[in-house]
């Protein structure tokens, strides 16, 4: 996008331009801008070539930035317009390589119609300052009367609005920008995005605060100043702009005539306008040709005087020629000495060439040796590739066998689940039997008939071993198996004689069924799983889970 900063002189256009630069908009190559001074310590952010082109148009019409009473675009000579268009086209073409870019120069308010024909995607950014503040600043800088400053402010504002008609536009209030720079910066950034400008960034609050400092806001308009200029029509125009009114309507004829009289009276007291000389090479060349043509039409007397002077100079030149011949002879002697040194240098170069040839031959031998090594490495690499291919095939075969093993494992797991389901059914039936009154009576009868002696003592030792083990939790066992609690049987005795063989767990830390499944020798021995673990498995490193 091509961003145009539009605003009257002393309206904060420089601050706005620097803000756009902080957002990432391109300004121009190094050294193209007008530097800072006491008037504008943060820099003007104006390109010298843009300023020169605008002055070219204004001066061509006999006007200047502060002499606009008689400005009319149709009064600009065609030759000036032609030069402007050629140079402006080159400038815009160079800037377009760095989009988004911006141009800031207050005269654009008056001359925007001349520029628009070269712009493909222009966006206008208007900045408006209180007219009394602008007038006060112009009086301080240029000694301009306040009524003239107010009239110029209105002329620039109306011209900018008319020139940018139909363009995507954003508006910045100078007072808001200086008093609350961060908020106004964010508003401007959003407005540019809505206008379709891409490629910018929102600068940080610290960046903005470091640039737009409060002390830069000078010549502030207060209530006293407004009271003194209450009748000025520009104040009403400023209030209408703040309210968002359409300002494209022309002022009433009486006000326009009054503004024209104020500007004309002011301009009549100014010195004669001296147009700036162009620095464009093509223009300078044309002016020089015109000067030479004018000089060629001089009178014969001037040529006669020039011829006499020329003859006098011939005598002086002949003397200079004799001096030069002597100087030439001296230089010829120096040249001969230089030639001898040249011959010596040629001999040195010959020796260096011989050394270079030897180095080339040595390099060629090294290259042949490197090529032989490379071929040997290529053969070794081919063998490695073959080994890698064989290992890859072996890996694929191993993965296939692993897949088959996984499938077999899945089948085994499904069979185990089926067996566990059947075990659950059997457990249910067994629990029903163990919970019956007949079973309890038979259990008590078996206790009465159990022989006493060594077997009884071994059983007691086993029960003590179970009870003292951290893997047997009697309370957990009775909660987990209500049929045992209902039978009134000692939980340790029940697990030792029945529960361990039924796959019941003695507590959360030991898995009876898993232990038997992992250790087929326990099942073959017909031994209680936890008892086997405590007596043998623990010392053998077997897992309880």
DSSP notation for 230-256: TT-HHHHHHHHHHTT----SPPPHHHH
Q: Give the model's confidence band at 442: pLDDT under 50 very low, under 70 low, under 90 confident, else very high.
A: very low
Domains and CATH numbers, the chain: 2-278 (3.40.50), 448-540 (no CATH)
Tokens of 442: 């038979």
Q: Give the model's confidence band at 444: pLDDT under 50 very low, under 70 low, under 90 confident, else very high.
A: very low
**pLDDT, position 53:** 96
**pLDDT, position 266:** 96
Q: Give the model's confidence band at 390: pLDDT under 50 very low, under 70 low, under 90 confident, else very high.
A: confident
**pLDDT, position 416:** 67
**pLDDT, position 439:** 46
Residue carrying the six token digits 């712009």: 119
Ranges of beta strands (E only) in 56-138 are 101-104, 122-128
> Taking 80 as the threshold, does the pLDDT of residue 535 lie above it?
yes
Q: Give the model's confidence band at 279: pLDDT under 50 very low, under 70 low, under 90 confident, else very high.
A: low
> Taking 60 as the threshold, does the pLDDT of residue 287 lie above it?
no
Tokens of 336: 């001969």
**Residue 2: enclosing H or E segment and its boundaries?**
strand 2-6
**pLDDT, position 381:** 80
* C-alpha 530 chain-centroid distance: 69
> Taking 70 as the threshold, does the pLDDT of residue 338 lie above it?
yes
**pLDDT, position 305:** 76
Buried b (16+ CB within 10 A) or exposed e, 91-121: bbeebeeebbbbbbbbbbbbbbebbeebbee
**pLDDT, position 494:** 94
- Give me the sheet containing 101-104, strands edge to edge: 101-104, 2-6, 122-128, 169-173
> Taking 50 as the threshold, does the pLDDT of residue 450 lie above it?
no
Pairing between β-strand 101-104 and β-strand 169-173 as defined by DSSP bridges: unpaired
Whole-angstrom Cα distance, residue 105 to residue 277?
A: 19
**pLDDT, position 441:** 42
Residue carrying the six token digits 């675009």: 73
Mean pLDDT, rounded, of the chain: 86
**pLDDT, position 277:** 60
Lowest mean pLDDT among 85-89, 102-106, 147-151, 439-443: 439-443
> Taking 60 as the threshold, does the pLDDT of residue 105 lie above it?
yes
**pLDDT, position 299:** 56
> Measured between alpha carbons, how far is residue 17 from residues 122, 182, 428 in Å?
15, 15, 90
Lowest mean pLDDT among 102-106, 359-363, 454-458, 469-473: 454-458
Q: Give the model's confidence band at 443: pLDDT under 50 very low, under 70 low, under 90 confident, else very high.
A: very low
Whole-angstrom Cα distance, residue 58 to residue 107?
A: 9
Lowest mean pLDDT among 73-87, 214-228, 261-275, 366-380: 214-228
Residue 322's region, left for phi above 0, alpha for psi from -120 to 50, else beta, is alpha
**pLDDT, position 309:** 81
**pLDDT, position 408:** 80
> Taking 80 as the threshold, does the pLDDT of residue 92 lie above it?
yes
**pLDDT, position 391:** 85
**pLDDT, position 24:** 95
> Taking 50 as the threshold, does the pLDDT of residue 98 lie above it?
yes
Higher confidence at residue 138 or residue 232?
138
Please state the rounded mean pLDDT for residues 171-180: 94
The percent of residues in the chain predicted with pLDDT above 90, rounded, is: 52
Mean pLDDT: which of 424-428, 434-438, 481-485 is highest? 481-485
Lowest mean pLDDT among 144-148, 280-284, 382-386, 415-419: 280-284
Please state the rounded mean pLDDT for residues 331-351: 87
pLDDT digits (tens, 9 = 90+) for 23-70: 999 999 988 988 777 767 777 889 999 999 999 999 999 999 999 999
Tokens of 98: 């760095």
**pLDDT, position 388:** 79
What pTM did the predictor assign? Answer: 0.53
The DSSP call for residue 33 is B
**Residue 172: enclosing H or E segment and its boundaries?**
strand 169-173
pLDDT digits (tens, 9 = 90+) for 342-372: 888 888 888 888 888 988 998 888 888 888 8
Helix (H, G, I), strand (E, B) or coil at 64: strand
The DSSP call for residue 396 is H
The percent of residues in the chain predicted with pLDDT above 70, rounded, is: 86
């Amino acid at each position: 996008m091509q961003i145009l900063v539009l605003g009257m002189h002393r309206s904060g256009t420089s601050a706005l331009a620097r803000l756009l630069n902080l957002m990432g908009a391109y300004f121009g190559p190094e050294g193209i801008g007008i530097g800072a001074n006491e008037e504008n310590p943060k820099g003007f952010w104006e390109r010298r070539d843009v300023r020169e082109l605008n002055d070219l148009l204004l001066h061509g019409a006999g006007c200047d930035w502060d002499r606009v009473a008689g400005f009319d675009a149709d009064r600009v000579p065609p030759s000036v317009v032609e030069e402007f268009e050629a140079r402006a086209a080159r400038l815009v073409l160079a800037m377009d390589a760095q989009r988004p870019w911006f141009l800031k120069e207050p005269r654009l308010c008056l001359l925007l119609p001349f520029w628009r024909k070269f712009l493909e995607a222009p966006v206008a950014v208007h900045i408006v300052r209180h007219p009394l503040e602008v007038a006060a600043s112009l009086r301080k800088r240029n000694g301009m009367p306040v009524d003239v400053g107010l009239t110029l402010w209105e002329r620039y504002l109306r011209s900018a609005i008319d020139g940018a008609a139909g363009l995507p536009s954003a508006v910045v209030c100078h007072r808001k920008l200086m008093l609350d720079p961060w908020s106004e910066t964010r508003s401007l950034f959003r407005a540019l995005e809505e206008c379709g400008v891409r490629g910018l960034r929102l600068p940080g609050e610290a960046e903005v605060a470091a640039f737009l400092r409060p002390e830069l806001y000078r010549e502030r308009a207060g209530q006293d100043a407004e009271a003194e200029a209450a009748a000025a029509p520009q104040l009403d125009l400023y209030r209408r702009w703040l309210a968002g009114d359409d300002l494209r309507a022309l002022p009433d004829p009486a006000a326009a005539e009054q503004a024209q009289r104020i500007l004309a009276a002011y301009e009549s007291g100014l010195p004669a306008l001296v147009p700036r000389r162009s620095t464009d090479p093509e223009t300078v060349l044309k002016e020089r040709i015109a000067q030479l043509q004018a000089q060629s039409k001089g009178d014969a007397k001037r040529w006669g005087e020039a011829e006499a002077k020329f003859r006098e100079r011939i005598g002086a030149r002949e003397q200079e020629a004799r001096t030069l011949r002597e100087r030439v002879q001296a230089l010829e002697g120096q040249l001969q000495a230089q030639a001898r040194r040249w011959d010596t240098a040629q001999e040195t170069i010959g020796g260096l060439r011989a050394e270079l040839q030897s180095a080339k031959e040595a390099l060629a031998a090294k290259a042949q040796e490197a090529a032989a090594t490379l071929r040997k490495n290529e053969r070794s690499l081919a063998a490695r590739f073959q080994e890698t291919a064989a290992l890859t095939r072996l890996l694929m075969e191993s993965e296939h066998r692993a897949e088959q093993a996984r499938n077999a494992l899945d089948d085994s797991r499904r069979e185990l689940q089926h067996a566990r389901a059947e075990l659950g059914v059997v457990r249910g039936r067994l629990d029903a039997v163990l919970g019956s009154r007949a079973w309890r009576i038979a259990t008590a009868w078996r206790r009465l008939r159990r022989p006493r002696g060594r077997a009884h003592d071994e059983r007691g030792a086993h029960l003590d071993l179970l009870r003292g083990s951290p893997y047997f939790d009697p309370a957990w066992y009775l909660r987990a198996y209500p049929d045992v609690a209902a039978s009134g049987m000692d939980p340790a005795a029940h697990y030792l004689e029945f529960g361990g063989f039924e796959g019941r767990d003695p507590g959360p830390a030991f898995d009876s069924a898993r232990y038997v499944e992992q250790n087929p020798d326990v099942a073959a021995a017909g031994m209680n799983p936890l008892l086997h673990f405590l007596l043998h498995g623990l010392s053998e490193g077997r897992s309880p889970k």
